[in-house]
A and B are shown apart, each in its own frame.
Chain A
């Protein structure tokens, strides 16, 4: 019998169709306006917090939908954006500090679909609105800072060791140069410095009766410095973005020295830039144990102390004197306490700060010392129509630890609860260290109305295209045209299903590629049908023509599609943002269209014509 698929092949097609429908379905349900509540480490987001939120909403009569626990917090749904906005202020007030309340759109996907792992496509910023920044980390500055730290370190070290030198300068060509009067002094100094800084590379030289030592940072440490510079900026950005209340921010490294920040739903780019452009630093201070915290809270803060809050919100009184600052930190990393195996953070300071730390800790063994994280930024507020810029500081005590014994520039903070906590603390310490400056080199902001317009226009074009192509194919190829149309519809469902499954980002150029795919997807059908017509003209029987049409056209379909995929792949590799979205849809669309044109259309035609005697084909 000719032109009949074995049962398993038909079942496979049906199975693929069903799976595609399931995974494409979530895109039909739309989204609820919602609030996403997340909390800092110490403020728990438990049943009690949830109850407080619900109670506050009920009391003020704001209608709300389901509240549900999600991976990073609590989600409260609303019927309209009006009550969502009202509820945002209310919940922020109810929960107080330590919680971030962010506007969000929660997919209305029913539970049984979510349970299957189905989720709607991820919309790009050009469709949902939001801000995209690309920041460039100034690596030259990072290297300069690293070398300047060595300049100070060498001076302190040589002075401590009572070695005489003439000058220590940072060479503009790279490296740190120390000048000596005698070769003997230089050799001694070199060994002392090498012992303290084993990663440096040294070069001796002599000019007249002056002896030079050039210390340069080796390649590995240069790489490390660069990585550190990017990482500390990423951490700092994460901290700041939290404050913006964005539900799904993306902060990631791109290339060697770039950071991409995407903030869906953020409209106030001015504020976003101000917050992202802040600077962070740290201060190490002794805890004031002589005065009463409660009295200070009540209003009588002693003259040589300052009142702070810990991360869990409890007040703490610190001495005014700053021991060392974040600028003195040269390294911070989470580690394991060598004595008891607990989580710890190791910190290294520059030489000068090490000396200060040494003298303070010697006198204060057994007393607690605190680390304060300080975020400074400029804020613009509109007062009577004129923009007023003010400096705003956010200060927070991120750690309090007891000094176990005197230490100088190398020490550990131990006794942390978990490796996670150690990692967080190390990241904060890094973020507060002297950061390499960043510059915004790209910004793309899409307002919410333009995003919605883009979706509407894109969807409208897609639907019109689908109808136009369907009418044309049906009119031209009759029954076979209808089969092609079923294949086309199937193709769209599959394309959307694959995009949803991969959680690939759909952008406006992506929708354009979807439309383009409709035009190009029928190409495979056209190739096959024209081939069938030719075979019929050559006097072959209908069954033989169908068979030959599909078989012979296949090689052509392969060849022509592979070339398009090559072009799409190049776009994907080299493209950025929306263009990448175009490439993704183009590639997936070609693959799914090959499946539908070759396998699905064949299956339907087999069902319609296969295995029986026919005299003419409606092609």
Chain B
């Protein structure tokens, strides 16, 4: 079985104005959403307390709320989690030394009403200082991953490709984060991990295309840069689609069967894989083209140092 019997011959590069504009519109929408709605950060980043409880019978949420209200907890979010017997209680971070005691007091107030059959499934308490640190470390991890990848692609290829790869990857990450913002899906630590995995995946996809472009620049003596890029994208197309399909299959399985804890993670991966595929076909190469890449940039120059010197060539 083959998707394409022959190597396809789509004019991807010809679509670049269209893809740039649509990506730009999408990024503007996301910027608007991030500016006005922001991200729905989970307890990992905001600090606060989450308690998940399992009851023997289905629970009326209003009763739980009332009981917590009587115990002095106000502004508490109480919702079903998975089934009507599972309850998730969210408390905003409070000030004072007794934050860690909040979960204890919640449990006590709920158990006192004779409901001793409540099963504690999960408590997550994150102090504000820890939340701030996690945000900081997450941002740092993203930044350093970008720098590391930029350096690697620059050494292996050339700076224009490095810019193209990083831009395409940044595009995918921003879109992934943006969709979490637009739909106000909870953004927690595992989603951040998925975003970094998206970074790896998207780059992986883009680098495979770049690899072929480099090879074809060396192999094909004729042809404009645009033609060579088009041929390369077409030659790698079935691989790009195959890998996306297998990866998409497993993250979809994870989304449906992996349970609540990894749902955010797998959703971020699904979005990231779809856009990572899109960007490596439509977005990455046009950027390299725009930066004015030339065959001369990729033909190894004997006894010429990497870096600025190479750019002085006509």
Residue-by-residue, is A374-398 near B (CB-CB < 8 Å gives 1, otherwise 0)?
A: 0000000000011100000000000
How far in angstroms is the closest Cβ of chain A from B240?
9
Q: Interface residues of A: mostly helix, strand, loop or mixed?
A: helix
Interchain CB contact under 8 A, A575 and B250: no
Query: Is B127 on the interface with A (CB-CB < 8 A)?
Result: yes
If A440-B100, A441-B129, A520-B247 touch, whether A567 touches B149 (CB-CB below 8 Å) is yes
If A530-B242, A533-B2, A571-B193 touch, whether A442 touches B125 (CB-CB below 8 Å) is yes
Q: How far is the CA of A439 from the CA of B121 in the complex (A)?
A: 24
Interface residues of A in 557-577 (CB under 8 A from B): 559-571, 573-577
Which among B123, B125, B138, B253 is the interface contact of A515 at CB below 8 angstroms? B253
**B149 / chain A contacts, CB cutoff of 8 Å:** 563, 566-567
**B243 / chain A contacts, CB cutoff of 8 Å:** 520, 522-523, 526
Query: How many residues on chain A are close to B (CB under 8 Å)?
Result: 79
If A509-B265, A534-B235 touch, whether A465 touches B250 (CB-CB below 8 Å) is yes
Residue-by-residue, is A499-541 near B (CB-CB < 8 Å gives 1, otherwise 0)?
A: 0000000001101110110111011001100100110010000
Interchain CB contact under 8 A, B262 and A508: yes
Interface residues of A in 55-94 (CB under 8 A from B): none
Which candidate, A112-120, A267-275, A359-367, is the interface stretch facing chain B? A267-275
**A464 / chain B contacts, CB cutoff of 8 Å:** 253, 257
Interface residues of B in 105-140 (CB under 8 A from A): 107-108, 112, 114, 119-127, 129-130, 134, 137-138, 140
Query: Is B6 on the interface with A (CB-CB < 8 A)?
Result: yes
Interchain CB contact under 8 A, B269 and A530: no
Which among B125, B190, B266 is the interface contact of A443 at CB below 8 angstroms? B125
**A227 / chain B contacts, CB cutoff of 8 Å:** none
Interchain CB contact under 8 A, A583 and B193: yes
Q: How far is the CA of A523 from the CA of B208 in the complex (A)?
A: 11
Highest count of chain B CB atoms <10 Å: which of A453, A458, A559: A559
19 example contacts (A-B, Cβ-Cβ < 8 A) are as follows A267-B120, A385-B114, A387-B112, A445-B122, A445-B123, A447-B122, A464-B257, A519-B246, A526-B243, A527-B208, A530-B236, A559-B211, A563-B200, A563-B207, A565-B200, A566-B200, A567-B196, A567-B197, A579-B193
Q: How far is the CA of A522 from the CA of B250 in the complex (A)?
A: 12
Instruction: Give the 7 A-B residue pairs with the shortest CB-CB distance, closest first.
Output: A564-B200, A441-B127, A519-B250, A440-B100, A567-B200, A574-B141, A519-B247
Which among A267, A440, A476, A560 is the interface contact of B125 at CB below 8 angstroms? A440
**A439 / chain B contacts, CB cutoff of 8 Å:** 97, 100, 127
If A515-B258, A560-B208, A570-B141 touch, whether A450 touches B122 (CB-CB below 8 Å) is yes
How far in angstroms is the closest Cβ of chain A from B157?
9
Q: How far is the CA of A270 from the CA of B247 in the complex (A)?
A: 43
Query: Is A446 on the interface with B (CB-CB < 8 A)?
Result: yes
**A40 / chain B contacts, CB cutoff of 8 Å:** none
Closest B residue to A442 using CB positions: B130
Q: How far is the CA of A559 from the CA of B121 in the complex (A)?
A: 43
Interchain CB contact under 8 A, A441 and B130: yes
**A509 / chain B contacts, CB cutoff of 8 Å:** 190, 193, 262, 265
Which candidate, A161-169, A194-202, A279-287, A467-475, is the interface stretch facing chain B? A467-475
**A522 / chain B contacts, CB cutoff of 8 Å:** 243, 246
Query: Is A134 on the interface with B (CB-CB < 8 A)?
Result: yes
Interchain CB contact under 8 A, B203 and A567: yes
Q: How far is the CA of A583 from the CA of B194 in the complex (A)?
A: 10
Q: How far is the CA of A476 from the CA of B3 in the complex (A)?
A: 9
Interface residues of A in 444-484 (CB under 8 A from B): 444-447, 449-450, 453-454, 457-458, 460-461, 464-465, 468-469, 472-473, 475-476, 478
**B205 / chain A contacts, CB cutoff of 8 Å:** 560
Which among B120, B138, B152, B189 is the interface contact of A562 at CB below 8 angstroms? B152
Q: How far is the CA of A273 from the CA of B99 in the complex (A)?
A: 12
Interchain CB contact under 8 A, A469 and B200: no
Q: How far is the CA of A440 from the CA of B102 in the complex (A)?
A: 11
Query: Is A555 on the interface with B (CB-CB < 8 A)?
Result: yes
Interchain CB contact under 8 A, A512 and B254: yes
**B190 / chain A contacts, CB cutoff of 8 Å:** 509, 512, 578-579, 582
How far in angstroms is the closest Cβ of chain B from A281?
21
Query: Is A182 on the interface with B (CB-CB < 8 A)?
Result: no
How far in angstroms is the closest Cβ of chain A from B155?
10
Query: Is B39 on the interface with A (CB-CB < 8 A)?
Result: no
**A573 / chain B contacts, CB cutoff of 8 Å:** 141, 144
Which among A136, A533, A568, A570 is the interface contact of B129 at CB below 8 angstroms? A136
**B235 / chain A contacts, CB cutoff of 8 Å:** 534
**A444 / chain B contacts, CB cutoff of 8 Å:** 122-125
Q: Which A positions have Cβ atoms within 8 angstroms of B? A: 126, 134, 136, 267, 269-270, 273, 385-387, 439-447, 449-450, 453-454, 457-458, 460-461, 464-465, 468-469, 472-473, 475-476, 478, 508-509, 511-513, 515-516, 518-520, 522-523, 526-527, 530, 533-534, 537, 555-556, 559-571, 573-579, 582-583, 586
If A574-B138, A574-B141 touch, whether A512 touches B265 (CB-CB below 8 Å) is yes
Query: Is B225 on the interface with A (CB-CB < 8 A)?
Result: no
Closest B residue to A520 using CB positions: B247
Query: Is B281 on the interface with A (CB-CB < 8 A)?
Result: no
How far in angstroms is the closest Cβ of chain B from A471?
10
How far in angstroms is the closest Cβ of chain B from A468?
5
Query: Is B57 on the interface with A (CB-CB < 8 A)?
Result: no
How far in angstroms is the closest Cβ of chain A from B131?
9
How far in angstroms is the closest Cβ of chain A from B271?
14
How far in angstroms is the closest Cβ of chain A from B151?
9
Interchain CB contact under 8 A, B197 and A586: yes
Query: Is B23 on the interface with A (CB-CB < 8 A)?
Result: no
Interchain CB contact under 8 A, A442 and B127: yes
**A523 / chain B contacts, CB cutoff of 8 Å:** 204, 243, 246-247
How far in angstroms is the closest Cβ of chain A from B139?
9
Query: Is B13 on the interface with A (CB-CB < 8 A)?
Result: no
Q: How far is the CA of A560 from the CA of B236 in the complex (A)?
A: 13
Interchain CB contact under 8 A, B269 and A126: no
Interface residues of B in 125-181 (CB under 8 A from A): 125-127, 129-130, 134, 137-138, 140-142, 144-145, 148-149, 152-153, 156, 165
Which among B156, B199, B238 is the interface contact of A530 at CB below 8 angstroms? B238
Q: How far is the CA of A447 from the CA of B51 in the complex (A)?
A: 11
**A446 / chain B contacts, CB cutoff of 8 Å:** 121-122
Interchain CB contact under 8 A, A461 and B122: no
Closest B residue to A561 using CB positions: B204
Which among B54, B126, B257 is the interface contact of A442 at CB below 8 angstroms? B126
Query: Is B40 on the interface with A (CB-CB < 8 A)?
Result: no
Query: Is B21 on the interface with A (CB-CB < 8 A)?
Result: no
Interchain CB contact under 8 A, B251 and A516: yes
Closest A residue to B145 using CB positions: A570
If A267-B120, A440-B125, A447-B119 touch, whether A468 touches B203 (CB-CB below 8 Å) is no
